Amino acid sequence: MAELSSAGLLSTNHIDIVTYDTASKLPYLTAIYRESLRFSAPQLQLPRVSDGMTLNGVFIPAGTNISTSASVIGRSTDLYGPTADEFRPERWMDADEGTLKNWGRHNLGWGGGTRKCLGKNIAVMEIFKVAVQVSGQRTNIDGWLVDRCSSLGYLNQSWWRVEMNSGLSCD
């Protein structure tokens, strides 16, 4: 929130739309994005069927199901050290160029090679824009909810609601 505030992105007008260019240049948000992909990789497994190959000296007969796991790699202490099991976005801001490059090479959050996610660019754009839009304007969304949904007692909860431009009913 401090980063959004200093970047002037805590809007009081909920129809201001942040651009991807602006959102993707926020260092802490970028670190949170990278850490989220590492810490909670959305794909647990990336399965493949062997065509009869040798991996690290081990022969994998044709037809055998094999898999890598972005989740397991993301928690590797060899890569991320003793704090691998902690959600710590700052690691991406503290790391040197060489380390960042190495982490990037091992990041399978979007898959890799020829089967890499075809929707990566649009998904990344959505992640950055929605994070700023929802977090930066949360007070305004809360205000909208107070106005229209006060009977729901949402103040003790933490959830967000997507509203059509034309407005929608809370009944």
Instruction: Enumerate the H helices of 11-86 as residue ranges.
Output: 20-23, 27-39, 70-74, 77-80
List binders of ligand HEM among 123-142 (CB under 6 A). 123
Q: How many of the other CB atoms lie within 10 Å of CB of 89? A: 19
Phi, psi of 65 (to 5 degrees): -80, 125
List binders of ligand HEM among 35-74 (CB under 6 A). 42-43, 46
- 8-state DSSP, 109: B
Choose between 53 and 155: whose C-beta lies nearer to ligand HEM: 53
User: Could you tell me if 89 and 35 are in contact, meaning their C-beta atoms sit under 8 angstroms apart?
Assistant: yes
Choose between 41 and 145: whose C-beta lies nearer to ligand HEM: 41
Q: Does 111 bind ligand HEM (CB under 6 A)?
A: yes
- The separation between CA 93 and the C-alpha centre of its own chain, rounded to angstroms, equals 16
39, 110, 136, 145: residue in contact with ligand HEM (rule CB under 6 A): 110
Stretch that binds ligand HEM, among 55-63, 72-80, 113-121, 147-155 (CB under 6 A): 113-121
Whole-angstrom distance, CA of residue 4 vs CA of residue 116 = 31
60, 117, 125, 130: residue in contact with ligand HEM (rule CB under 6 A): 117
Choose between 75 and 148: whose C-beta lies nearer to ligand HEM: 75
66, 122, 134, 146: residue in contact with ligand HEM (rule CB under 6 A): 122
Q: Does 119 bind ligand HEM (CB under 6 A)?
A: yes
Whole-angstrom distance, CA of residue 141 vs CA of residue 124 = 23
118, 134, 155, 168: residue in contact with ligand HEM (rule CB under 6 A): 118
Q: Which two tokens stand for residue 164?
A: 């059509």
Radius of gyration of the chain (CA): 21
Whole-angstrom distance, CA of residue 53 vs CA of residue 61 = 7
Q: Does 168 bind ligand HEM (CB under 6 A)?
A: no
Choose between 34 and 145: whose C-beta lies nearer to ligand HEM: 34
> Where do contacts with ligand HEM occur on this chain (CB under 6 A)?
42-43, 46, 109-111, 115, 117-119, 122-123
